[in-house]
Structure formats: C-alpha cells, structure tokens
Amino acid sequence: MKTHLRYSRQILIEHFGPEGQEKLLNAKVLVIGAGGLGCPILTYLTSAGVGEIGIIDFDVVEESNLARQPIYTINDVGKYKAEVAALYLRKLNPDCKTEVYTSKLDTENAFELISKYDIIADACDNFATRYIINDACIKANKPWVFGSIQGWEGQVSVFNYKNSPTYRDLYPESPADIDAPNCDDIGVIATLPSVIGSYQANEIIKCIIGSDKTLAGKLLLMDLYNNVHNVVKIKSESEERGANESREKRMSGNGERGTSEDSEISLEEYLSNKSDYQLIDIRQAHEFEDYNIGGKNIPYQDLITDSSSLNKDSKYAIICYRGRISKVLVNFLHEKHGFTNLKSILGGMEAAEGL
C-alpha cells in the first residue's frame, strides 16, 4: 500500500485503519455528473485516496454554476466540466487515476460504463437518468449512492447495496411520469450541494470498506433552512407486500376491513370527496404561502418529529410538491405511529396547477 502522509489521519480512526485505506486505493468509482453534487463527491473521494474515478458529464461550465460548483473558475466557462474536473483532481492527488466521459449516460451505454466500476455516485439532476442508473446497477450488481437537492432541502440514500432496496422501491414511477424540475427551475442555496455531496462521499467510502452502517434501506431528509435532519425507512417490494399482508391479517382479526387500502389518492378523487378529508400541505411555509389549494400547512419535518397534531379518527389527504415526499411520509407514519387514515395525493401540487 502506498504510504502517504495525506492519509495518516484517516488511517488512525476506528472502523477504517490501513485495511480501509487499501480498499480505497483499489476502488473504482463512477461519478455521474460533475456539477453541484459532483464537485464535493469528486473532491473528497480523490482527497481520501480512491484509486480510480470515472467522471461522466456532457455539460459545459456556465457562469451560473460557479456559486455552488467551486472547482470551476470564470476561466473555465464554456469548457467540458468532466475535463476541467479531471485536471483539478490530478493536481489534488496524483495517486488517483481519472477517466473522462463527455457523452450523456443513456440506456445504450449505461450498463457498459457502470460495469467497469465498483460503486456508482449519482450526482445528476434529473429523474430519468436515475432510473437508468438504478436499472443498470441492478443488472450489473453494483451499489449506488443517491443524492438530490432543491431549494434548502436534500436527500441521500444508498441503493442495491448488500441486497438493500432499490430506487424503484422508493419511487416506482417510470421516468416519463416524473420529469420533475431541477435546480434550474426552482433554485438551490449555494451551500446545499456541498453538504449533500459530502454525505454522499461519506456513504461511498463506507460502502467501499464494507460497512453495515450505511443509508441502505433508509432515506436521509435534510432541511438546512430549519436545521432538521430525519431518516425514514425504505421498504423493498417484498417487504411492502409482507407488511400489507400482515396489516390485512391484523385488520381482519380486529373485525375491521379485510384488505388494506392503498396509501395514495388521485387529486381528482380527493376533490370529488373533499368533504371527507382534512387536507395537510407538507411543503415549507413560504411555498404554501406562494400557492396552495387550501388546507393546513404543516411542514413534513414537523410531522416526522411530532405527529400529535393528527387525529387517528379523522381522514387526511397529504400533499407536497410532486407526491413523492408525501408518500414517504404517509408510509412512515403508518408504519411507525400506527396511522391507517392518511392518503398521499398523487402528483402533488404540480397536478393542481391550473385549477
């Protein structure tokens, strides 16, 4: 093993040591996207001593990138991000080999590229690409670390690691159905990519050393504006099926309905039965004030930490921006706090636009 002073501090720590450093130096990581999330992922994996890093990004540096992508300068505007990033990383740590891909990841090249690496880092900004990553990783039997950012909020998880749930267990919709807005549409605070990307780099390192303490099977939700961090469990399809069967048996044994109801409701169905439900909008207060369709505003992080404002004898329809966080929240409250009366509105506020 190469013995550099640069690695001496991390070699000293528990759960890492010389063996962990050796694993990093022999590891190959593909980072998909060299933008806001990619910058901290690339920087810290290279600094930590990952032996080989692939960088795939077909985009070029724009001036609007510079506030949250600090490895680029004004002199890099117009250049391929992947090529500029590779030059930066080679200066940062000559131990690290870099491979540059300036093409777009798609269904044609994903499996071939992903198969070359041990672990994949998602630093892209769109849902369609994440489904391509997920499906290729399943086929190639590779774990991948997910990160997502918008506004002040971010998410991190680890998929397909040691038989853990996959991205489709969290968001089963097809890419065509969830072409959601990215940072270009709704903005992002400059510091958020660094925080989420650093979390991702840390999870990648833990995966490389074989840790059982990763975010596999869990979704980390972070709200930097309100300083709230929460972790919710992700169920695999088989776990969800088993939970539903168990719930059905409990309900049948208690003399209640014999089948469990789905945890989602369409916007049209909600509007047709509006008097039956209390509407809870779980977006942030400023989003609710900007545009809403009524109901009460209780941000999702408040309900995760304290669900006492909800009555188990009432029926609630839960709405967020797109219907994803509301679904995670409803499943969490059903599982952890015994609620059976919550419905997530499919498509969220986006489905309500134009009403």
Using a pLDDT cut of 90, give the percent of the chain over it: 64
Query: In this structure, what are the phi and psi dihedrals at residue 200, rounded to the nearest 5 degrees?
Result: -65, -45
* Average pLDDT of every residue of the chain: 87
Average pLDDT over residues 307-329: 89
H or E element at residue 304: helix 300-305
Q: What is the pLDDT of residue 251?
A: 38
Report the pLDDT averaged over residues 319-340.
85
pLDDT at 240 > cutoff 90? no
pLDDT of residue 179: 43
Q: How many Å apart are CA 88 and CA 69, to the nearest integer?
A: 13
Nearest by Cα to 325 from 275, 284, 270, 278: 284
Tokens representing 185 are: 């549409």
The tens digit of pLDDT for each residue in 162-207 reads 999 999 988 876 544 444 455 555 678 999 999 999 999 999 999 9
For residue 4, pLDDT over 70 is answered with: no
Helix or strand (DSSP H, E) at 252:
helix 237-253
Buried b / exposed e over 65-80, threshold 16 CB at 10 Å, is: beebbebbeeebeeeb
Residue 110: predicted pLDDT:
97
Active-site residue set: 183, 320
**Residue 244 pLDDT exceeds 50:** no
With a cut of 70, say whether residue 253 has pLDDT above it: no
Q: Give CA 213 to chain center in angstroms.
A: 17
- Exposed/middle/buried for 174, CB within 10 Å: 0-12, 13-18, 19+? exposed
